[in-house]
Amino acid sequence: IDAKKTAMIVVDMQNDFVAAGAAMETPAARAVVPKLAEALNICRDAQIKVIYTAHVHRRDGCDMGLFDDLHPPIANRAALVDGTPGVDIYPELAPAPGEHVIKKHRYSGFFGTDLDIILREWGVDTVIISGTTTENCCHATARDAMFRNYRVVFLSDATATYDYPDRGCGTMPAADVHHATLVILAASTAHVMSVKDMSARISRRE
């Protein structure tokens, strides 16, 4: 991992997902906050650029697409409403001065945003993916990065998801969803590794 050509993307670690009691609370995302904070410290110390995404929608729903069919808290405007405290980055992972937050309206951080423009302006060829949820926004961002010829590092212990209810195919606990996504990504899209492994692979060559 060449520090000069790498950026860490923190995907959707917002209050509406991470905070206790939030409308779209993902307890496993809150559980990985310390590990993700550790990863951020490692990357910042190595002068790896850090950029955040935040999933938001305008209150009138003009950018919502099909999300109101899929997620009741979004349809009811109980979560991810632009301009509300719920869409802010969880305080323990707050951006450092000068770090950008990309607002997005779909799972992928690249879809309909200027993320790709920023990364290319920085000379980035490798991205490190962290955040929530493993199989949706992190997965989609990793896939879109690979489609754009970025090398992808996917952090196995700084990503997380939630338990899946039965919607006709049975239930699936968060741990199984997370594991299945990591297996798929490792075979098709990304270099899946722990924060410790990431740290060991960072090259700080001048």
pLDDT in tens, 96-105: 999 999 999 9
Q: What is the per-residue pLDDT for 204?
A: 75
Has residue 12 got a pLDDT over 90?
A: yes
Report the candidate in 46, 32, 31, 37 with the shortest Cα–Cα distance to residue 126. Answer: 46
Q: What is the pTM of this model?
A: 0.97
DSSP tag of 82 = T
Has residue 42 got a pLDDT over 90?
A: yes
Tokens 């802010």, located at residue: 88
Half-sphere exposure of 136 (CA within 13 A, CB side): 17
Phi then psi dihedrals of residue 129, to 5 deg: -100, 130
Q: How far is CA 153 from CA 79, 98, 127, 134, 141, in A?
A: 29, 23, 6, 13, 11
What single letter denotes the amino acid at residue 173? P
CA of residue 53 relative to chain centroid, distance: 7
What single letter denotes the amino acid at residue 191? H
Q: How far is CA 2 from CA 38, 43, 155, 157, 188, in A?
A: 19, 11, 16, 21, 22
pLDDT in tens, 43-55: 999 999 999 999 9
CA-CA distance, 98 to 51, in Å (whole number)?
Answer: 10
